[in-house]
Amino acid sequence: MEMGCMWMRRVRTSAVASFSLLSLHPPIPSSSSLSLNPSPPRSLPLFLPNRRSASASASASASSSPPPPPPLVSAGDGCPDLGGCEGSGIAARGPKVLLKGMRYAELEKWVQSQGYRPGQALMLWKRMYGNAIWAHSAEELHGLNKDFKKMLSERAELRALSFKEIRAAADGTKKILFSLEDGLLIETVIIPCDRGRNTVCVSSQVGCAMNCQFCFTGRMGLTRHLTAAEIVDQAVFAHRLFHDEVGSITNVVFMGMGEPLHNIENVIKAADIMVHDQGLHFSPRRVTVSTSGLVPQLKRFLHESNCSVAVSLNATTDEVRNWIMPINRKYKLSVLLQTLREELRHKNNYKVLFEYVMLAGVNDSFEDAKRLIDLVQGIPCKINLISFNPHSGSKFKPTPEEKIVEFRNILAEGGCIVFLRLSRGDDQMAACGQLGKPGAREAPLLRVPPQFEMALNAAI
Ligand code: SF4
């Protein structure tokens, strides 16, 4: 899933004609083909998608070469291969432990194991994650005991990422490139909004195994999961690099490179660290983990975390979803939606966010809108309509803006809470679905169902 600041308009049934801009939301879109005007009072809105991928230009520097990805799609039914690197990643750097890979209780235990008091763990935690310090080295740990700092510099590593460069889009969205200990590259997006709501869109994997057909990241295949430390450090870097320029980073979306719930262990841990009230202290409602629909992992996440969930839906029939999101061949729409219906009964005041990337002639018909209303019945939810962000090699075209608005109006009249998300950062391939850069081996594009060939070939 991916990044950039986004503008959303919330539409209520009773206010279909006069939309009010309620909030600027930070996910990830871009839509170069739509004339997205970021000035608020416009009659027609725009959007953004849910995941990020990197773009071709995004990675001139990213050309450095991830190892060849494992196969993305099984030879059999086309379902993504979810095996392979479960639990992989780097939890330590040589003989040093990575402190950002620890929950607070783990840090406290480790500090005690080194012969120091638990109180020093708290002081360390606050300097790594708060007090406008966001320490990346022992030298920045002002006020800590000298021996304790010496021990940390010898046995621990505070930083999990190496900063490479920032690419700034014309709309203020920034894409940050980081290199990992093993030389791989990831991308993180900062989406500033003028209402003080600044979002960081973090990656959870190098590449992605899901092979969603509309996503540039999906072309990469999966190289490996990120560790919890590598995920958390993206949020820390966002504070360090941009706090003075844009103010506090208020929201986190796991919509960058990767399917977060494919790396659920590290994602749950990273989210726990991010919401700790003595550290980064993000509100759980402002930490959103997006998924393409891994049902067992989704259930687990809803049980174990209070953070928010977004589901990348993007189709109203299994026929279309099987094609554009192969994970649907394993977990059908009915199974995914029934799971949400049942699990959300046990949550108070909790809404899932459905993301719906509008693809011309594929999922944007009047019938799709009607079916979508029926599909989400009984699920406390909001729906984000996102304009498709074209990228090289893509067969899809964005739905025209006026048609998106019609689609939105149908949903609103049907009682849905709908947002139109404005794409951000597309000129730097920082928008939704544009992150990353495929290597020499790309994930396969799937056969286009005959009934959609004409729509894909049609000029808009
Ligand atoms: S391939 Fe699918 S799951 Fe993976 S990053 Fe892209 S949209 Fe998200």
**Are 201 and 306 members of one domain?**
yes
- Which stretches of 236-351 are assigned E, i.e. beta strand? 251-254, 287-291, 308-312
259 lines ligand 1 (CB under 6 A): yes
Q: Which helix (H) or strand (E) holds 225?
A: strand 222-225
> How many residues are listed for the chain in this entry?
460
d(CA 159, CA 75): 39
Asked if pLDDT for residue 91 goes beyond 90, the answer is: no
Give the residue, by CA position, lying nearest to ligand 1 atom 3: 259
Distance of CA 27 from the midpoint of ligand 1 (Å): 14
**Are 71 and 102 members of one domain?**
no
Give the residue, by CA position, lying nearest to ligand 1 atom 8: 1
Q: How far does the chain reach from its first CA to its final CA, in angstroms? A: 27
Say which CATH number the domain at 70 has. 3.20.20.70
Distance of CA 454 from the midpoint of ligand 1 (Å): 25
**Are 273 and 135 members of one domain?**
no
Q: Which of 181, 187, 230, 343 is catalytic?
A: 187
* Pocket test residue of 3, 50, 51, 82 for ligand 1, highest count of atoms within 8 A of CB: 51
Structure tokens at 15: 């206010």
Span 396-417, pLDDT tens digits: 999 999 999 999 999 999 999 9
Q: Which of 330, 321, 251 is nearest to 286 (CA)?
A: 251
Looking at ligand 1, which atom is closest to the CA of residue 205? Answer: 5
**Are 180 and 135 members of one domain?**
no
Task: Establish if 122 belongs to a structural domain.
Answer: yes
Q: Does the annotation mark 187 as catalytic?
A: yes
> Which residue segment(s) compose the domain that 112 sits in?
96-157
d(CA 176, CA 186): 8
292 lines ligand 1 (CB under 6 A): yes
Lowest mean pLDDT, pick from 37-46, 171-180, 256-265, 415-424: 37-46
Task: Establish if 134 belongs to a structural domain.
Answer: yes
Q: Can you state the percent helix, strand and coil of the chain, rounding each to 5? A: 35, 20, 45
- Continuous H helices in 156-304: 228-246, 264-275, 295-304
**Are 343 and 370 members of one domain?**
yes
Q: Which helix (H) or strand (E) holds 207?
A: strand 205-207
Q: What mean pLDDT is reported for the chain?
A: 81
324 lines ligand 1 (CB under 6 A): no
**Are 288 and 330 members of one domain?**
yes
The CA distances from residue 460 to 375, 397, 398, 403, 407, in Å, are 29, 8, 9, 12, 17
Span 41-76, pLDDT tens digits: 332 222 333 333 333 333 333 333 444 444 443 434
Say which CATH number the domain at 143 has. 1.10.150.530
**Are 206 and 287 members of one domain?**
yes
Amino acid identity, position 366: F
**Are 140 and 48 members of one domain?**
no
**What's the domain count of the chain?**
2
Task: Establish if 75 belongs to a structural domain.
Answer: yes
**Are 178 and 35 members of one domain?**
yes
Task: Establish if 1 belongs to a structural domain.
Answer: no
Last residue of a domain, one of 141, 157, 173: 157
Q: Does the annotation mark 401 as catalytic?
A: no
**Are 100 and 71 members of one domain?**
no
**Are 30 and 79 members of one domain?**
yes
Decide: 250 and 213 in contact? Cβ < 8 Å.
no
Strand order in the sheet with 96-98: 92-93, 96-98, 156-157
